[in-house]
Amino acid sequence: MTLQERINAFVALGDKLRTLDTDTKAALTQRANDDNGWFDELSVTNALTGVEKMLSKEVLENWVGNYSSSEDEKPNKVLVVMAGNIPAVGFHDALSILISGHILMAKLSSQDTFLMTTLFNWLKEIEPKFNDFIQILEAPVKDINKVIATGSDNSTRYFVKYFSKYPNIIRHNRSSVAVIRGDEDEETLAKLADDIFLYYGLGCRNISKVYAPKDYDLTQLLKALEPRAKETIINHKYANNYDYNKSIYLVNKVEHLDNGGLIVVESEEMVSPISVLYYETYENGLELKAKLGDAEDKIQCIVTDGQWLAGSEDFGQAQFPSVSTYADNVDTMEFLSPIVK
């Protein structure tokens, strides 16, 4: 299969996703929700929209054009141990491997089996040659050339040991942060709602912590986020976490702020529980830079208003990565290069 054939197949998959009818979308969401109770209509719709945006001809051709290709390159067997924290979270790795001309050996998460299998089946219907390039495994195998594995800090210790003899990308727990300058208005702060609440805080690109200037009035942030917080708490799984965490803070007399759907607590920790947003203050730019530097290996992305901090993304954009945005800032396509031409 040529590179152009692979690109054309993924473009056709994107077209299919864009034209799904309402009944099909509803059935997809319901079946995905059976696998994972967090996968509701908003989560599934947002995830699939993110996938389809990657699959335009212009985007794909520009993307792969940045990497070396070779007519002599033989397909590698690449094992991917996929996470299942948000819908279709493993798709980008699958896309990277398949469009590069390599063989995907996917160990799917039990929490996200249906959506990923459906996407693979649609791709194979569009281009039957992909039948020879997609293998779904019940367990990891040894007949592989490279490995990409994503998991918790505990599981990554196992991955590092088990896959050490293969070229690999091993990803561990990360979370994302927002930096508030202090002069943002309510409308601007409200843009953080998607960054915080989409996928109920379960993704590595969800904002779990805010850095704010010393003496900043956090009630401004809570007010801006209140409408979305009260929409989010309708989900019973999220509400259960909110009730539990609030009761713990009350019993232990932990100071916190609350807008009826989100709890804000001061902490130096990076990963907050579901329904909780941590915050930490800074006095000046040097202190902020030092704090972000100390936590660099735990941060997936940083959002700021207007990207005023170098390397940051804009408020509201954390959950909408481009095809060239790589987890843990490790270039997956470079790892897979050269592309099979």
Q: How far apart are alpha carbons 57 and 59 in whole angstroms?
A: 6
Residue 255 has a pLDDT of 97
pLDDT at 158: 87
Instruction: Read off the amino acid at residue 219.
Output: T
pLDDT, residue 114, reads 96
What are 11-32's pLDDT values in tens digits?
999 999 999 999 999 999 999 9
Torsion angle (degrees, nearest 10) of CA 307, 261, 328, 29: -110
Helix (H, G, I), strand (E, B) or coil at 107: strand
The structure tokens 């299942």 sit at 84
User: What letter would DSSP give residue 62?
Assistant: H
Q: Are 203 and 174 in contact (CB under 8 A)?
A: no
Range list of β-strands (E), 102-193: 103-107, 134-136, 146-150, 168-171, 175-179
Please, which residues bridge with residue 279 across strands?
210, 266
Backbone angles phi, psi at 263, to 5 degrees: -110, 130
CB 333 within 8 A of CB 67: yes
**Cβ contacts of residue 129 below 8 Å, gap of 6+?**
1, 5
CB crowding 165-196: b at 16 or more within 10 Å, else e = eeebbbbbbbbbbbbbeeebeeebbbbbbbbb
Flag residues of the chain having pLDDT under 70.
140
Counting DSSP H helices and E strands in the chain, the numbers are: 13, 14
What's the confidence (pLDDT) of residue 222? 98
- Give the span between the Cα atoms of 65 and 297, in whole angstroms: 29
How high is the pLDDT of residue 155? Answer: 87
